[in-house]
Structure 1
């Protein structure tokens, strides 16, 4: 009996956590592209105020040479502000 109650409790707890994570993911997706401040917080691992090629990820790494306009090997916040925006697929409208 105790084993059954424990199993049910764990199942409910796990389900609740998964639902909460999905809601957070949806909220983040709705907010649009990340802000420059958030990009630097996530990628600038040595906190020097610049992103190196080693720290860059994804489209930022792919387009590093384009974004690094002064060719110093780092992307500054100023360069990031002037960077071309990545193309995003068009969102499909939900028709009900």
Structure 2
């Protein structure tokens, strides 16, 4: 009985830990959204451009920099040429002795 319970416990732990690992790997591979995805999510009126009202997050914060022709909209071409947002720096890892 104890052996069976121990086997089931190890099996369940193995399944759960591998699931967590796969989930973390998917998050690592995900990366930034594509231009197509950004427009799908933000271009609510589907006019092919993003207004300041539609923009969110870093896109809204840097709207004036990205809107290079100053027409009040961000086109796909302007977004392609936009500088990539800087990634936050990771804290240094400390070794545990």
TM bracket, shorter-chain basis:
0.5 to 0.7
Q: CA deviation at 1:30?
A: 2.5
What corresponds to 1:7 in structure 2? none
In structure 2, runs of 5+ residues without a counterpart are 1-18
In structure 1, the residue matched to 2:67 is 68
Aligned residues: 74
1:86 aligns with 2:85: yes
In structure 2, the residue matched to 1:31 is 30
Gaps of at least 5 residues in structure 1 are 1-18
1:21-71 per-residue CA deviation (whole Å, 9 max, x = no partner) reads xx4x86355210000000000000000000000000000000000000000
Q: Which has the larger radius of gyration?
A: 2
Q: CA RMSD in A?
A: 2.6
